[in-house]
Amino acid sequence: MANVLIIGGGIIGLSTAYYLQKAGHDVTVLDKGDMLDSCSYGNAGMIVPSHFIPLATPGMLSQGIKWMFNSKSPFYVKPSLNPDLIKWGLKFMKKATADHVERSAVPLTELSLLSKKLYEDLNAEPGFDFDLVEKGILMFYKSEKAAEEEAHLAEKGRELGLDMAVLNVEECKQLQPNLKLDVLGAVHYRCDAHLSPNKLMTALIKYLKASGAKLLSNTEVTKIESDNGKVTAVIAGSQKFTADEYVIAGGSWSPAIAKMLKVNVLLMPGKGYSFNVPDESGTMHIPALLAEARVAITPMNGGLRYGGTMELDAINTRINMNRVKGIVESVPKYFPDLKPAVPEQKDIWFGFRPSSADGLPYIGRTKNYGNLTLATGHGMMGLSLGAATGLLTSEIISGKTTTIKVADFAPDRN
């Protein structure tokens, strides 16, 4: 069995550690933070096999340009001469084709369904109750254009074997009679689920510590050494770590980590915001996605978690209140009785989704180093794809045939 060093203690890094530990490897996880407030905590908690369409789509180009002139829009790219952003944008434009969407659907669906099954198995393990609820997710829409698009996606989803149903308003009301609606209808993604990311992360950390894995927080990697096509050591401050195998699972920080080895990882951080509001009346018990507004609402821990926006920019600590107001203002347009107040800045969580240009994650070996594996670039689906990525990365390191094919996620793909 191998000694494995994982850089990154978010859902991808910890899931990888979990499956490696179960396979009998010795695991060490390094994280630059305290492992208590990453993207893995503040997300909407959705498990989404329904999301088989990558970010890079033909319609996203034209829509993205329109949104750039609206400070409250759900998607924004800050104009910049940053070479990485320019490279990212050029590849995004190259991949935003109908052919790419078609070819990505099967691998993304397989990855998502594997992850959902693994979460179901994990939730049944002692000490791993993280409020997994399998009621699906409702994608609500207000416009005829969105209704047509969502119906088309539902048809495609059914062709891929996913359980999806187009509902009219009355059928939506029957599912949640206490929720007042102002919509044309919804697609019920019955194949989806949701969970509490905070409880999941806490359970993973507790299990890993109890099973002998070393979790080192506030340990930022400053240098990586290599020799003759192999990584030989990782330096974090005054500490030096050696292992047989190395994994980069640093989320939006992965490009900077990989650059220490002259490995190019093309992804951009997509800032998202979320905030929590109590919901004593329990008006919503099935998570909602607002099609036109690109907002997510999840029942969680006795309240509702509101989340949204994708702001591509360099990693920063700014909170753009206009984007948060955009989330708040969109909600009553769909649900007239839900009127969340604009939260104070201290109550707003934000995190950075590591977004690849073609919308597919990076899972696999790099061509230049025989003992380096990447597990990053999951965009808005890090939590959803975390369990599957962890298992696949463990299988790759163990030299096993992977449960599903991973060629489409190769880090060195064009």
Domain that holds residue 314: 3-409
Least confident of 1-5, 80-84, 298-302: 80-84
Instruction: Give the residue-averaged pLDDT of 92-99.
Output: 91
Distance between CA atoms of residues 309 and 293, nearest Å: 9
The 10s digit of each residue's pLDDT in 179-214 is 999 999 999 999 999 999 999 999 999 999 999 999
| R_g (Cα) of the chain, nearest Å | 21
pLDDT value at position 65?
62
214: in domain: yes
pLDDT value at position 84?
87
pLDDT value at position 70?
67
Instruction: Give the residue-averaged pLDDT of 158-164.
Output: 98
CA angle, 286 as apex, 282 and 287 as ends, to 5°?
105
The 10s digit of each residue's pLDDT in 341-395 is 999 999 999 999 999 999 999 999 999 999 999 999 999 999 999 999 999 999 9
pLDDT value at position 282?
80
The 10s digit of each residue's pLDDT in 216-245 is 999 999 999 999 999 999 999 899 999 999
| End-to-end CA gap in the chain | 33
Q: How confident is the model at residue 67 (pLDDT cuts 50, 70, 90)?
A: low
342: in domain: yes
CA angle, 404 as apex, 352 and 128 as ends, to 5°?
60
Domain with residue 352: its CATH number is 3.50.50.60
Distance between CA atoms of residues 23 and 213, nearest Å: 12
202: in domain: yes
Nearest Cα residue to 92 out of 348, 266, 260: 266
The 10s digit of each residue's pLDDT in 300-339 is 988 999 999 888 888 999 999 999 999 999 999 999 999 9
93: in domain: yes
414: in domain: no
What is the length of the chain? 414
**Counted domains in the chain:** 1
110: in domain: yes
Distance between CA atoms of residues 152 and 214, nearest Å: 47
Mean pLDDT of the chain: 94
